[in-house]
């Protein structure tokens, strides 16, 4: 029996918020294996197939608007993270579904970018990728929770992630 249902929004890896669009076999694989068909909010043209055997890879259901309000209140209180942003340190945070920790990572990287610009530098390629992934995960969940587009939610809460 499926843990998630068609029409629900779930958080999945670096894709962020995804709609469970279907549950069933896929044409290109063993017909006895059932898959979740996930449509990332950030790219509804794409479909990610997750075997029910690997449903633990789906982090959790997307939070409600009330829970998102609580997260944003907490995000306003916390500062930036205090570690060096390396992929091996950031991936577990991004895949944890911990919105506050993800927001701290975004704050850190945005702060680093701002400070680097003062000396005519930018983030390195890996740091930019981590920032993009973190923003996708965070903003896609907030957009889903508030029933807004990604652009609207960035406009609404993006400033809370700047230091």
Per-residue pLDDT reduced to its tens digit, 12-35: 999 999 999 999 999 888 889 999
Domains held by the chain: number: 2
SS3 of residue 81 by DSSP? coil
Residue 21 lies in a domain: yes
Residue 41 is predicted with a pLDDT of 95
State whether 33 and 85 are in the same domain: no
State whether 13 and 75 are in the same domain: no
Residue 127 belongs to domain with CATH number: 1.20.58.1290
State whether 103 and 46 are in the same domain: no
Q: What is the DSSP letter of 63?
A: P
- pTM score, whole prediction: 0.91
State whether 88 and 109 are in the same domain: yes
Spatial distance between the Cα atoms of 48 and 154, rounded to a whole number of angstroms: 24
Residue 132: CB atoms within 10 A of its CB come to 12
Residue 48 is predicted with a pLDDT of 97
Phi–psi pair at 121, nearest 5 degrees: -120, 175
In terms of Cβ atoms closer than 10 Å to its own Cβ (0-12, 13-18, 19+), residue 154 is: middle
Phi–psi pair at 24, nearest 5 degrees: 165, -175
State whether 57 and 80 are in the same domain: no
Question: Residue 13: left if φ>0, alpha if ψ -120 to 50, beta else—which one?
Answer: left
* Banded model confidence at residue 6, pLDDT cuts 50, 70, 90: very high
State whether 73 and 130 are in the same domain: yes
Determine the longest span between alpha carbons in the chain, in angstroms.
58
Find the domain containing 123 and state its range.
65-161
Residue 45 is predicted with a pLDDT of 93
Residue 81 is predicted with a pLDDT of 87
Contact 37, 20 (CB under 8 A): yes
Say how many residues make up the chain. Answer: 163
Q: What share of the chain is helix, strand, coil (3-state, %, to 5)?
A: 50, 15, 35
């Amino acid at each position: 029996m499926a843990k998630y249902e068609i029409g629900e929004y779930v958080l999945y890896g670096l894709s962020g918020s995804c709609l469970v669009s279907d549950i069933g076999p896929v044409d290109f694989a063993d017909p006895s294996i059932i898959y979740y068909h996930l449509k990332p909010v950030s790219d509804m043209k794409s479909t990610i197939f997750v075997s029910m055997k690997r449903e633990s890879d789906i982090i959790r259901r997307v939070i409600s608007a009330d829970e998102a309000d609580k997260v944003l209140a907490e995000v306003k209180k916390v500062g930036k993270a205090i570690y060096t942003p390396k992929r091996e340190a950031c991936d577990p945070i991004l895949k944890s579904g911990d919105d506050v920790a993800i927001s701290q990572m975004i704050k850190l990287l945005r702060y680093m970018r701002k400070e680097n610009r003062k000396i005519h530098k930018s983030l390195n390629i890996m740091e930019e990728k981590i920032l993009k992934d973190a923003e996708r995960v965070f903003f896609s969940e907030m957009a889903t929770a508030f029933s807004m587009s990604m652009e609207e939610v960035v406009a609404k809460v993006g400033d809370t992630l700047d230091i």
